[in-house]
Amino acid sequence: MANHFSFIFFLISFFAPWCCIFAINPACRTTCGSIDVKYPFGTGYGCGSPRFYPYVTCPKDHLLLNTHTGSYPITSISYTTSALTITPPSMSTCSSMQQSPNIGLDWASPFELGPSTFLLLSCTPPTSSLTVKGSPVCDTSSSHLCDSFYTCPSVIGLSLPLFPPSNTCCVYSPANFNSKGELDLRVLKCGGYTSIVSLEDFPTDPNQWQYGVSLKYTHGAFDNYYIDNKCNACEESGGVCGFSPPSDAFICVCKNGTNSTIQCSYFNIDYQGDEDMFGSSASSSTWTSWLGILGGMMLLYM
């Protein structure tokens, strides 16, 4: 009996690597809406790096950053500088100003604030008295940004009059989050905020500014290892880099929904063109045949 189990274990060990290439989530894609999605980001569970899921997801073709304070649309990603931009729906812009809840990041996430310029709006005057841990937080040398932003007629959305006094606005520099990982507007006694990624070529025209919150992300040793050793080869073969729970081992998710531990082209065969051996319609019978052979060998031996 022991020999029987040894032989069965051998067969399972031989065929297991082939059976395990099927994708847990065959929906891994290289785009989400109009944004290119590459490692370490992914469009769903099992896609990209496990460090970045579930912080970045793609429900209904909208790439989102999820934190304990809300979900924020991601509008751009720079893979060369490891940066992205989010546009919180409650953030004020020149065309729309409103009261805002706190915004924050999870401490365990691989994200931190990038070089955005925050303006705190509708604050209790004078903003020169605004302090965090006893230190002033308003950059008076950049107060001209407040003057320009307050020319936008939408200031009435913050319950301010047209052309409100500039001492209710603060250029928060350097911007930082509190111990909860949040921009706490209530503690700062401000009604809203805006964040400027770039003034473009119009430093005094807030209609032309690029609004959003810039974030930096960091690769861990896990991600660096797989980028250097496996992910590039996977992407070059037409696959999407992902992971296989619960061990979170690296996998290369191919276009037809199969998984490979190496790269998609490893499983290509000539008579199936660009389709993977275990993902095409023809391969279903191939896989069934292998299972039949395995079952027959086990019964015959026993």
Contact 81, 135 (CB under 8 A): no
Cα–Cα nearest to 212, from 198, 197, 200: 197
**How far apart, in whole angstroms, are the C-alpha atoms of residue 82 and residue 49?**
14
Cα–Cα nearest to 50, from 271, 212, 234, 244: 244
Domain residue extents for the chain: 2-28+220-301, 52-217
Between vectors from CA 293 to CA 252 and to CA 1, what angle results, nearest 5°?
105
Q: Residue 147 — pLDDT band, cuts 50, 70, 90?
A: very high
For the beta sheet containing 111-113, the strands, ordered from the edge strand earlier in sequence to the opposite edge, are 56-57, 64-67, 70-78, 83-86, 213-217, 111-113
Which pLDDT tens digit goes with each residue over 64-115?
999 999 999 999 999 999 999 999 999 999 999 999 999 999 999 999 999 9
**How far apart, in whole angstroms, are the C-alpha atoms of residue 243 and residue 51?**
10
pTM of the model: 0.78
Which pLDDT tens digit goes with each residue over 245-270?
888 888 998 887 678 887 887 554 43
Cα–Cα nearest to 250, from 225, 220, 277, 217: 225
